[in-house]
Amino acid sequence: MCDAELKRTGRGSFDQKTAMVGDTTLHAVKWYDNRSVSLLSDYIGAHPVTDVDRWDGKQKKVIRVPCPAVVREYNKNMGGVDLLDSLIALYRTKIRSKKWYHRLMFHFIDMTTVTAWLLYKRDCSSTGMSKEEQIRLYTFKSYIGESLCKSGKNLEHKRGRPSSTIAGEYKEKRKRGPATPIPVPDVRLDATAHWMVIDEKKGRCKVPGCKGTPKAKCQKCDIYLCFTSTSNCFLRFHTE
């Protein structure tokens, strides 16, 4: 039955078809609640049908709606797959393309990113880190996206000596109050296309502890940095 026909029949209506594949019976059930839901199962079908409570917006009260057995079992046992799908849907990579494999590829990228974030959350919990200190999914994906977009890919020589001096001092600075974000370390230390430009206006130097207001800024990082005979914050910011 099409969605319009199920809707005319009323909330709680369903349609069921069965098929034999080898020795297995497949049950295809389409149920209409607020919208149509389709399920396929080799374990259970629509019967026995039970009633569930649903809020009716027109009547302004809770009503009883018929619910197929397969829907009841799904709601009872839903878990990790549904959590993964809901997290992917929050910040899905949107791409308009007629090529089906583009959608498939970006879905796998989203799935891998969300799985990595869940593993990160598990690791943080095991080490005793509070939820307030943990990176949110949106920030986690933003860091990855910024690194993929800006970090040097074809760099032949080695990168500068890795250090967390600037990142550590900046983190302490953020604890004292709001601060303009700086690029992630993969971008800041990639030694690729960090050109110095002179702006018309002055801005506060982003190196923690420096109170200079230079006109010089990094074109790639889009932040102001001192570059004088006594203070080379530009070099320090991109190497420490």
Q: What is the pLDDT of residue 17?
A: 95
Domain boundaries, the chain: 3-77, 82-150, 191-240
Q: What is the pLDDT of residue 20?
A: 93
Residue 150 pLDDT exceeds 80: no
Residue 4 pLDDT exceeds 80: yes
Residue 186 pLDDT exceeds 80: no
Residue 91 pLDDT exceeds 80: yes
pTM of the model: 0.45
Residue 168 pLDDT exceeds 70: no
Cα separation, 187 vs 152, in Å, equals 8
Summarised one tens digit per residue, pLDDT across range 101-145 is 998 999 999 999 999 999 999 999 899 888 888 889 998 998 888
Strand partners, 66: 51
Residue 155 pLDDT exceeds 50: no
Q: What is the pLDDT of residue 237?
A: 86
Torsion of CA 151, 156, 162, 166, to 10 degrees: -50
Residue 176 pLDDT exceeds 60: no
Cα separation, 197 vs 215, in Å, equals 8
Summarised one tens digit per residue, pLDDT across range 190-239 is 778 888 888 888 888 888 888 888 888 888 888 888 888 888 888 888 88
Residue 162 pLDDT exceeds 60: no
Question: Average pLDDT for residues 172-195, to the nearest whole number?
Answer: 71
Contacts 24+ apart (CB under 8 A), 108-111: 111/84
Q: Classify each residue of 92-131 as buried b or exposed e, where b means 16 or more C-beta atoms within 10 Å of its C-beta.
A: eeeeeeeeeeeeeeeeeebeebbeebeeebeeeeeeeeee
Residue 90 pLDDT exceeds 70: yes
Summarised one tens digit per residue, pLDDT across range 6-35 is 888 888 899 999 999 999 999 999 999 888
Question: Average pLDDT for residues 167-187, to the nearest whole number?
Answer: 65
Summarised one tens digit per residue, pLDDT across range 37-68 is 999 999 999 999 999 888 888 888 898 999 99
Q: Kindly tell me the burial class for residue 51, based on how many C-beta atoms sit within 10 Å of its own C-beta (0-12, 13-18, 19 or more).
A: exposed
DSSP sequence for the chain: --HHHHHHH-TT-EEEEEEEETTEEEEEEEEESSSEEEEEESS--S-S-EEEEEEETTTTEEEEEEE-HHHHHHHHH--HHHHHHHHHHHT------S-HHHHHHHHHHHHHHHHHHHHHHHHHHHTT--TTTSPPHHHHHHHHHHHHHHS-SS--SPPPPP--HHHHHHHHHHHTS-------HHHHTS-SS--EEE-SS-----STT-----SEEETTTTEE--BSSS-BHHHHHTT-
Q: What is the pLDDT of residue 167?
A: 61
Question: Between residues 14 and 79, which one has the greater pLDDT?
Answer: 14
